[in-house]
């Protein structure tokens, strides 16, 4: 299409100014046609994405300004920001914020270390092993989170579990240890299952980042006598900063929305209620649409905040890091 | 790290491989073992069952938990497939436009996809729960397919845009210069290059829809539309006093095995799709 246009323009240039103007008009007509076609093709996807997210979040914001319980629908009344006021003064809300932040921080830090180790292993592995390791590592990625949650739950459960029997020699663990009866031990299992499930994602991102590190730089450093640790610190890390940032940001956002495994393992008992679970229980469990919507909006704002902080703090250009 | 390995290196690679394999597969093997235990053997604290029994599988496939499990399996397959198909068709059109055409707003579309993909599902659920009840979409297939698009569309657009960016579009022009019509040029030169990317994207989108739990438990109430993950959470035992551990484990194994097989078959493509969509390789 473009070659054609150039050829046409070239042919007409000889015919004088008038023809040139005409050609330019034809060219801009073509540009416009291309833009129109672009939007015809991409428009439906764009519109649907907005419809399935922008509309609900606006509706949630609207509902959050009302006293609105489905159990007493006639009681519905506009109350402004009172729902937010109620939530922000509630200790239970802040506790779930704290638990969610704790889970996010711990999983991201551990997964970054573990994911890096796995990525390095895959990067260095001989060809035959590389395929095997990559396949194995994809298994957790493919498994339904709920299934993984049940697997971890049954392994640790005081009735059906075997972990207590296996690790009885570890101080603090005995056959009558009920992991899901206390906050700390419950969170331990929840975090462990989350790490198991999502480390593959982070390590694959890091692996593709590792592939971008110029190998001649690494070799040059080795020739110059740099130790493995120095090469790692000075050559590898700086060259894959973008990949690391993207991996951390996406995992942090994902961990912040944690829901499935908490629902299955403790259902929020013993102080393990995370923000998503609190929103779910308030709106769908107790049918408090107004309050639940307010929590949903707050959760959404937290996600925006995390993005904003990440972009400001690390100066990640998400779009460029993702390849555009 | 090519070339001949010394004995020592070989040893360490073996240790590392075994470690990674155990780490990756342990929970899967664990639930597999649990699924073959009789109720009487559940509380022995053993990893492997003392005697292997298929009674849990009988319960979910032909026994009293059959309706619950098989209908949820049907729902999951149907809803996930439809949501994947819609997402992949729309995303293919969009990604073609992004890769091939010059038009204002390309970046806006990619940014919107990114924004939607970080959206917390629970923030969408509350308003949809209320709206679906009012307009009759609650507990229906369509009532899940629509929100599933918020999961499958963004990742499909990103992954496909990354794939399509690597296609040499000059091929299409070359074919046209050689006398092919636009449609022929597209079909003969571009479709074969794009097909693997589309297939991979469909696979990833399907995994994501198959994995959903939040929408599944919030927007359904019966076996009319409840997908597998939600059904697992609401399984009940044969009696009020019996934990459904065995039945849940068996159901979990049944829905996990196809996924593991898909992963084994297409691991190379999945890795390429995941990483290209996220960080251009």
CATH of residue A109: 1.10.3720.10
Residues A38, B97 contacting (CB under 8 angstroms): yes
Same domain, A11 and A140: no
Same domain, A23 and A101: no
Residues B120, A124: C-beta atoms closer than 8 Å: no
Instruction: Using CB atoms, pick whichever of A147, A166, A193 lies closest to residue B256.
Output: A147
C-alpha to C-alpha distance for A259 and A67, rounded to whole angstroms: 26
What's the pLDDT tens digit per position in A261-308? 999 999 998 999 999 999 999 999 999 999 999 999 999 999 999 888
Backbone CA torsion sign across B165, B171, B176, B177: positive
Based on the domain organization, do A47 and A81 belong to the same domain?
no
Return the number of CB contacts < 8 Å for A and B: 322
Note whether A35 contacts B: Cβ–Cβ < 8 A.
yes
- The pLDDT, as a whole number, for residue B167 is 84
- Asked if A319 lies within 8 A of B213 by C-beta distance, the reply is no
Nearest to B278 among A133, A147, A205 (CB): A205
Q: Which residue of B has its CA nearest to A123?
A: B1
pLDDT at residue A24 tops 80: no
Three-state DSSP state, A20:
helix
Residues B36-46 have a mean pLDDT of: 87
Residue of A nearest to B259 (CA): A142
Residues recorded for chain A: 324
pLDDT tens string A83-123: 999 999 999 999 999 999 999 999 999 999 999 999 988 88
Average pLDDT, chain A: 86
Q: Is B51 left (phi over 0), alpha (psi -120 to 50) or beta?
A: beta
pLDDT at A307 (0 to 100): 87
User: For residues B25 and B42, what is the distance between their CA atoms, to the nearest angstrom?
Assistant: 21
User: CA A137, CA B277: separation in Å to the nearest integer?
Assistant: 18
My answer on whether A15 and A137 are in the same domain is no
Shared domain check, A25 and A81: no
Residue A107 counted as domain residue: yes
Smallest Cβ distance to A121: which of B20, B118, B229? B20
First to last CA, chain B: 21
DSSP H or E run through A68: strand A66-69
Record the pTM: 0.89
pLDDT band at A322 (very low <50, low <70, confident <90, very high): very low
Spatial distance between the Cα atoms of B187 and B105, rounded to a whole number of angstroms:
26
Residue A10 has pLDDT above 70, yes or no: no
Same domain flag for A248 and A135: yes
Range of the domain at A26: 1-53
Helix axis angle for B191-211 and B141-165, nearest 10°, is 140
Is residue A13's pLDDT more than 60?
Answer: no
Which candidate, A232, A191, A198, A109, places its Cα nearest to that of B274? Answer: A198
- The verdict on a CB contact (< 8 Å) between B279 and A205 is yes
In a domain, A213, yes or no: yes
- Can you tell me the distance from the alpha carbon of A276 to that of A260, in angstroms, rounded to the nearest whole number? 9
Domain end call among A34, A53, A72: A53
Mean pLDDT score across all residues of chain B: 87
Q: Which residues contact A126 (CB under 8 A, 6 or more apart)?
A: B1, B2, B5, B13
pLDDT score at B278:
58
pLDDT given for residue B230 in this prediction = 93
**Which among B104, B149, B229 has CB closest to A144?**
B229
Quote the CA–CA distance of B118 and B155 in Å, as a whole number: 10
* Residues A153, A69 contacting (CB under 8 angstroms): no
**Is residue A145 domain-resident?**
yes
**A35, A49, A296: residue with CB nearest B104:** A35
Residue A59 lies in a domain: no
- Strands annotated E in chain B: none
Is A58 domain-assigned? no
A49 in the same domain as A112 = no
On the question of pLDDT at B34 being above 60, the answer is yes
The pLDDT of residue A244: 87
CB burial readout A261-270, b (16+ within 10 A) else e? bbbbbbebee
Quick one: which of B169, B151, B148, B153 has its CA closest to B110? B153
Q: Which residues on B lie below 8 Å from A303 (Cβ)?
A: 118-120
The nearest CA of chain A is from the CA of B225 a distance in Å of 17
Cβ <8 Å between A323 and B121: no
Same structural domain, A226 and A277: yes
| CB contact (8 A) between residue A146 and residue B229 | yes
Q: Are residues A3 and A115 in the same domain?
A: no
- State the Rg of chain A over Cα: 27
Domain membership flag for residue A111: yes
Residues A194 and A304 in one domain: yes
For residue A203, pLDDT beyond 60: yes
Please check whether residues A18 and A103 belong to one and the same domain.
no
- A11 and A119 share a domain? no
A106's tokens: 């711990």
A79 lies in some domain: yes
Residue with tokens 């307009």: B135
Give the best residue of A31, A32, A160 to mutate against chain B (max B CB count within 10 A).
A160
Domain membership of residue A148 (yes or no) is yes
A316 pLDDT more than 80: no
| Domain C-terminal end among A10, A30, A53 | A53
pLDDT single digits (tens) B168-193: 888 887 888 888 887 888 888 888 88
Tokens of B180: 């092919």
For residue A29, what pLDDT is reported? 83
Q: How many helices (H) and strands (E) does chain A have?
A: 16, 2
CB contact under 8 A, A165 and B111: no
Which residues between 119 and 178 in chain A have a beta carbon less than 8 angstroms from any beta carbon of chain B? 121, 124-127, 129, 131-148, 150-152, 154-155, 159-162, 164-166, 175
Q: What is the dihedral of CA B212, B214, B218, B221, to 10 degrees?
A: 40
B139 with B133: CB under 8 angstroms? no
- Sort residue B139 into left (φ over 0), alpha (ψ -120 to 50) or beta: left
Q: How far is CA A70 from the centre of its chain?
A: 32
Q: Tell me the C-alpha to C-alpha distance, in Å, between residue A121 and each of A52, A113, A129, A197, B268.
A: 40, 12, 10, 19, 17
| Token reading at B96 | 């073609």
Backbone torsions φ then ψ of A209, nearest 5 degrees? -65, -40
* Number of domains, chain A: 2
């Amino acid at each position: 299409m473009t070659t054609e246009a150039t050829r046409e323009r070239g042919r007409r240039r000889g015919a004088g100014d008038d023809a040139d103007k005409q050609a330019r008009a034809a060219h801009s007509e073509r540009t416009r046609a291309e833009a129109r076609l672009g939007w015809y093709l991409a428009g439906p996807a764009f519109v649907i994405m907005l419809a399935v997210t922008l509309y609900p979040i606006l509706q949630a914001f609207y509902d959050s300004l009302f006293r609105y319980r489905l159990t007493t629908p006639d009681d519905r009344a506009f109350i402004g920001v009172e729902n937010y006021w109620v939530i922000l003064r509630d200790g239970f809300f802040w506790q779930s914020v704290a638990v969610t932040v704790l889970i996010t921080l711990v999983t991201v830090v551990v997964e970054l270390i573990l994911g890096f180790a796995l990525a390095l292993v895959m990067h260095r592995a001989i060809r035959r092993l590389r395929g095997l390791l990559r396949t194995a590592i994809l298994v957790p990625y493919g498994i339904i989170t709920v299934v993984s949650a049940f697997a971890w739950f049954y392994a640790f459960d005081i009735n059906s579990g075997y972990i207590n029997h296996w690790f009885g020699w570890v101080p603090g663990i005995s056959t009558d240890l009920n992991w899901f009866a206390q906050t700390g031990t419950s969170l331990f299992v929840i975090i462990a299952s989350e790490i198991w499930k999502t480390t593959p994602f982070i390590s694959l991102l890091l692996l593709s980042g590792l592939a971008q590190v110029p190998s001649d730089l690494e070799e040059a450093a080795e020739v110059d006598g740099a130790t493995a640790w120095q090469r790692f610190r000075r050559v590898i890390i700086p060259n894959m900063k973008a990949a690391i940032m993207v991996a951390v940001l996406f995992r942090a956002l994902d961990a912040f929305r944690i829901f499935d495994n908490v629902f299955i393992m403790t259902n929020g008992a013993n102080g393990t209620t995370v923000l998503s679970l609190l929103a779910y229980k308030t709106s769908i469990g107790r049918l408090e649409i107004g309050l639940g919507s307010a929590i949903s909006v707050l959760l959404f704002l937290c996600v925006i905040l995390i993005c904003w902080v990440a972009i400001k703090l690390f100066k990640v250009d998400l779009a460029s890091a993702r390849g555009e | 790290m090519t070339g001949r390995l010394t004995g020592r290196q070989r040893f360490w690679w073996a240790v590392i491989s075994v470690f990674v394999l155990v780490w990756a597969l342990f929970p899967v093997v664990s639930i597999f073992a649990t699924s073959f235990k009789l109720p009487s053997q559940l509380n022995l604290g053993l990893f492997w069952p003392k005697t292997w029994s298929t009674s849990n599988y009988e319960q979910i496939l032909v026994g009293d938990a059959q309706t619950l499990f098989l209908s949820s399996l049907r729902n999951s397959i149907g809803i996930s497939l439809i949501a994947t198909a819609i997402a992949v068709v729309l995303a293919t059109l969009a990604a073609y436009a992004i890769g091939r055409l010059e038009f204002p707003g390309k970046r806006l579309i990619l940014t919107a996809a990114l924004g939607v993909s970080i959206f917390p599902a629970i923030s969408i659920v509350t308003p949809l729960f209320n709206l679906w009840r009012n307009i009759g979409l609650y507990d229906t297939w369509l009532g899940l397919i629509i929100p599933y698009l918020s999961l499958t569309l963004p990742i499909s657009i990103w992954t496909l845009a990354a794939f399509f960016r690597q296609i040499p579009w000059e091929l299409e022009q070359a074919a046209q210069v050689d006398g092919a019509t636009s449609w022929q040029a597209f079909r003969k030169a571009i479709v074969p290059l794009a097909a693997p990317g589309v297939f991979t994207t469909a696979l990833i989108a399907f995994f994501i829809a198959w994995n959903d739990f939040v929408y599944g438990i919030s927007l359904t109430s019966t076996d009319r539309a409840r997908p597998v993950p939600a059904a697992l959470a609401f399984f009940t035992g044969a009696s009020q006093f019996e934990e459904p551990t065995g039945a849940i484990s068996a159901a979990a194994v049944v829905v996990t095995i196809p996924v593991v097989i898909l992963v084994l078959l297409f691991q190379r493509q999945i890795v390429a799709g995941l990483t290209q969509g996220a960080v251009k390789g």
